[in-house]
């Protein structure tokens, strides 16, 4: 049999989505929001189950009864995506142990602990910015290195969620409340991006607040990255601000470790915040794809592959013929045979007799032998 020549195959991935023109959110390596407080507009991608955690410590020189001098806790974020690549669902939990401010006369215990945050939400990528691939520009060095003005227009996602009230006594609000947000990201270069978030949180409660977060992230290499961040929270009675920085290290494609530190300014109180975190994802993502040849044309099955498929179908039919059938199937088969006989009527005597199963197998074997001989020639 003549051997077919091997071709160098390029694989072009096409993302399965419900809308045409939808782009993949999935990345080959984990894309974590940690160690910052901001959130990217992009989802993790379908088939991804991602866990992001931070162990944090906070120390404040509490000047009012509303502040806790010391806090130790863990921040957990679970992210996944299904149905649509652009749609992500998340659950955010924070458990902490706070030293109670001695100025607060309503609480007698020195320390109190419990869930301080339990938020369930979803985000959807409304607009994804695309950039021109300038690496293919070979005629002009100036054009190849020029800044793409499209990078000034951010990708945009909307967020909607709700704060549950399954919280510790110290952190409870009057009721379950909604949380809305707009998430923006500008990829100013391949190594530097700016994320901007706007939130309206705890709507309809006495603790309602508006906040913004601006984060700049720079990648030193494929494994190391750093960030600088500013957050402002506007509450009814005061404004809180924090400025932070941190570093992240990609240990494997599915595992990231990170650390951060920030200065905090809450009303008349000042302090610091430090954290260590781990992000891990379970990757069950699957992309549909079409194989292309060197010229970018779809690769069709070779004669050998087609013959193998025919053989597989052929032997499959033989196996099904000897397979034990259910009584219900047998009854249906008999009824079908009777109907066929009735339909023949008188003129059925002059029609060509239908071949039996063994005759059909013999005929298909001969056809396969002919095809094999043709391929051999």
Spatial separation of the C-alpha atoms in residues 264 and 326, rounded to whole Å: 73
Could you give all domains of the chain from N- to C-terminal order, each with its CATH number? 11-289 (2.40.160.40), 302-376 (no CATH)
Mean pLDDT calculated for residue range 259-276: 93
pLDDT at 108: 54
Spatial separation of the C-alpha atoms in residues 263 and 16, rounded to whole Å: 44
Q: Are 64 and 269 in contact (CB under 8 A)?
A: yes
Least confident interval from 12-21, 61-70, 125-134: 12-21
Q: Count Cβ atoms within 10 A of the Cβ of residue 255 and give its class: 0-12 exposed, 13-18 middle, 19 or more buried.
A: middle
HSE-CB of 218 using CA atoms within 13 angstroms = 4
Q: Are 235 and 23 in contact (CB under 8 A)?
A: no
pLDDT exceeds cutoff 50 at 14: no
Name every residue whose Cβ is closer than 8 Å to that of residue 213 and which is 6 or more positions away in sequence: 36, 37, 38, 195, 196, 197, 199, 229, 230, 231
Q: What is the tens place of the pLDDT at every residue in 224-261?
A: 999 999 999 999 888 999 999 999 999 999 999 999 99
Mean pLDDT calculated for residue range 132-155: 78
pLDDT at 319: 53
Q: What is the tens place of the pLDDT at every residue in 77-105?
A: 999 998 899 999 999 999 999 987 655 55
> Mean pLDDT for the chain?
79
**pLDDT band (50, 70, 90) for residue 347:** very low
Mean pLDDT calculated for residue range 324-328: 54
pLDDT exceeds cutoff 60 at 190: yes
pLDDT at 22: 41
* DSSP reduced 3-state for 179: strand
Name every residue whose Cβ is closer than 8 Å to that of residue 41 and which is 6 or more positions away in sequence: 123, 125, 154, 155, 156, 157, 183, 184, 185, 195
Least confident interval from 102-106, 114-118, 271-275, 339-343: 339-343
pTM for the full predicted model: 0.68
Name every residue whose Cβ is closer than 8 Å to that of residue 222 and which is 6 or more positions away in sequence: 250
Helix axes 303-322, 357-376, angle to 10 degrees: 160
- The C-alpha R_g of the chain, in whole angstroms, comes to 32
* Higher pLDDT, residue 13 or 129: 129
pLDDT exceeds cutoff 90 at 181: yes
pLDDT at 348: 44
Q: What is the tens place of the pLDDT at every residue in 145-179?
A: 788 888 999 999 999 999 998 898 888 887 899 99
**What DSSP assignment string belongs to 182-215?**
EEEEEE-SSSEEEEEEEEEESTTSTT-EEEEEEE
* Higher pLDDT, residue 165 or 184: 184
Least confident interval from 129-138, 175-184, 197-206: 129-138
Greatest distance between any 2 Cα atoms in the chain: 107
Spatial separation of the C-alpha atoms in residues 289 and 186, rounded to whole Å: 29
The distance of Cα 296 from the centroid of its chain, to the nearest Å, equals 28
Residue 319 Cα distances to 312, 315, 363, angstroms: 10, 6, 17
pLDDT at 109: 57
pLDDT at 90: 97
Least confident interval from 116-130, 199-213, 361-375: 361-375
pLDDT at 350: 45
pLDDT at 130: 86
Spatial separation of the C-alpha atoms in residues 377 and 370, rounded to whole Å: 11
**pLDDT band (50, 70, 90) for residue 305:** low
Mean pLDDT calculated for residue range 197-220: 95
Structure-block tokens of residue 56: 């944090």
Report the residue count for the chain: 377
pLDDT exceeds cutoff 90 at 68: no
**pLDDT band (50, 70, 90) for residue 9:** very low
Spatial separation of the C-alpha atoms in residues 159 and 39, rounded to whole Å: 10
């Amino acid at each position: 049999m003549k051997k077919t020549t091997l071709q160098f195959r390029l694989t072009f991935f096409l993302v399965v989505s419900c809308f045409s023109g939808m782009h993949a959110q999935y990345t080959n390596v984990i894309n974590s929001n940690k160690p910052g407080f901001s959130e990217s507009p992009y989802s993790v991608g379908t088939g991804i189950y991602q866990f992001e955690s931070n162990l944090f410590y906070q120390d404040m020189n509490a000047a009012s009864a509303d502040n806790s001098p010391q806090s130790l806790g863990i921040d957990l974020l679970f992210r996944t995506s299904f149905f649509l690549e652009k749609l992500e669902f998340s659950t955010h939990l924070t458990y902490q142990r706070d030293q109670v401010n001695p100025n607060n006369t309503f609480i007698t215990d020195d320390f109190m602990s419990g869930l301080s945050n339990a938020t369930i939400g979803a985000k959807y990528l409304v607009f994804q910015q695309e950039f021109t691939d300038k690496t293919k520009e070979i005629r002009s060095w100036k054009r190849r290195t020029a800044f793409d003005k499209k990078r000034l227009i951010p990708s945009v996602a909307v967020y909607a969620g709700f704060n549950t009230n399954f919280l510790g006594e110290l952190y409870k609000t009057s009721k379950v409340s909604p949380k809305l947000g707009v998430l923006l990201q500008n990829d100013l270069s391949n190594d530097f991006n700016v994320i901007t978030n706007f939130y309206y949180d705890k709507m309809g409660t006495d603790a309602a607040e508006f906040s913004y977060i601006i984060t700049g992230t720079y990648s030193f290499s494929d494994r190391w990255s750093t960030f600088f961040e500013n957050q402002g929270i506007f509450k009814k009675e005061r404004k809180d601000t924090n400025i932070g920085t941190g570093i992240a290290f990609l240990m494997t494609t599915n595992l990231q470790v990170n650390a951060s530190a920030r200065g905090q300014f809450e009303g008349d109180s000042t302090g610091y915040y430090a954290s260590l975190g781990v992000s891990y994802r379970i990757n069950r993502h699957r992309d549909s794809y079409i194989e292309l040849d060197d010229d970018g044309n779809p690769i069709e099955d070779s004669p050998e592959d087609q013959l193998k498929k025919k053989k597989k179908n052929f032997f499959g039919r033989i196996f099904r013929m000897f397979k034990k059938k259910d009584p219900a199937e047998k009854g249906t088969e008999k009824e079908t045979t009777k109907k066929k006989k009735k339909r023949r009527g008188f003129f059925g005597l002059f029609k060509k007799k239908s071949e039996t199963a063994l005759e059909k197998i013999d005929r298909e074997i001969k056809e396969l032998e002919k095809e094999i001989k043709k391929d051999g020639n």
